[in-house]
Amino acid sequence: MNGYDFTFAGERLTALGSGALWWGARRLLCVSDLHLGKSERIARRGGTPLPPYEVADTLDRLSADLERTRPNTVICLGDSFDDTEAAHVLPEPARLRIAALQAGRRWIWIEGNHDPGPVTMGGSHLAELATGPLLFRHIARHGAQGEISGHYHPKAALRLRGRSLSRPAFLVDTARIVLPAYGTYTGGLRSDAPVLAQLMRPEALAIVTGATPHAVPMPR
């Protein structure tokens, strides 16, 4: 599997190159910040139109991860839709595709700040979920332990052959994991931003996504 294995809260986890988190012992796949319907929401609000392919592209990558891992449980860790209206007006082909991805497995929508209301699709809608030693929620809270969250769309800035590159990254310390955004068109926040530098402990790592995920000390 294309991923970086590490231990967190006594559990063996894998950061996949796609930005998904795999918990093999529970056969659980977690993704965050899909922001499905972003192009529709921008057009609805009169913004500069974006190519309307982000829903299909995001679901293509999610489908590939589901095929690769074959999870029993999927957690979408908040901001799965760009706003609540985007969930309601999602085109029927996309809704049917999500239903097909949900079939035969437990599917949990964690509420985010963009999509706080229940979605009109299958699965469970929860504010947060505690299972085993891990707690899944959308936005990290200071003082938490064993916490897995999203929201910030973290990226790590790296120097490679004299060039500066920025890649989506998992941020990991002994208390929490912050997942990168999974969706297309989501953008990101560099790990040296004050909110992330203050949130993450000094020993924090950035696990950079891509063809070969790898860990570096979190750039600050």
The string of pLDDT tens digits covering residues 82-105 is 777 777 778 899 899 999 999 999
Three-state DSSP class for residue 5: strand
d(CA 100, CA 41): 24
Question: Domain 3-217 belongs to what architecture?
Answer: 4-Layer Sandwich (3.60)
**Dihedral angle sign, alpha carbons of residues 93, 95, 97, 99:** negative
Quote the pLDDT of residue 60. 95
The two tokens of residue 163 are 């060039």
d(CA 151, CA 108): 17
Q: What is the pTM of this model?
A: 0.93
Quote the pLDDT of residue 159. 78
Contact 26, 176 (CB under 8 A): no
Q: Is 174 exposed, middle or buried (0-12, 13-18, 19+ CB in 10 A)?
A: exposed
From the centroid of its chain, how far is CA 74?
11
Quote the pLDDT of residue 46. 65
Contact 163, 43 (CB under 8 A): no
Could you give the percent of the chain with pLDDT greater than 70? 93
Residue extents of the structural domains in the chain: 3-217
- Specify the DSSP class assigned to residue 144: -
Residue 200: which residues within 8 A CB-CB, separation 6 or more? 171, 173, 176, 178, 191, 218
* Separation in Å, CA 63 to CA 23, 55, 72, 99, 169: 17, 12, 14, 12, 21
Q: Which residues pair with 81 in a beta bridge?
A: 36
Confidence category of residue 47, pLDDT binned at 50, 70, 90? low
The residue behind tokens 């999500």 is 98
| Identity of the amino acid at 172 | V
d(CA 34, CA 49): 19
Contact 101, 136 (CB under 8 A): no
pLDDT exceeds 70 at position 147: yes
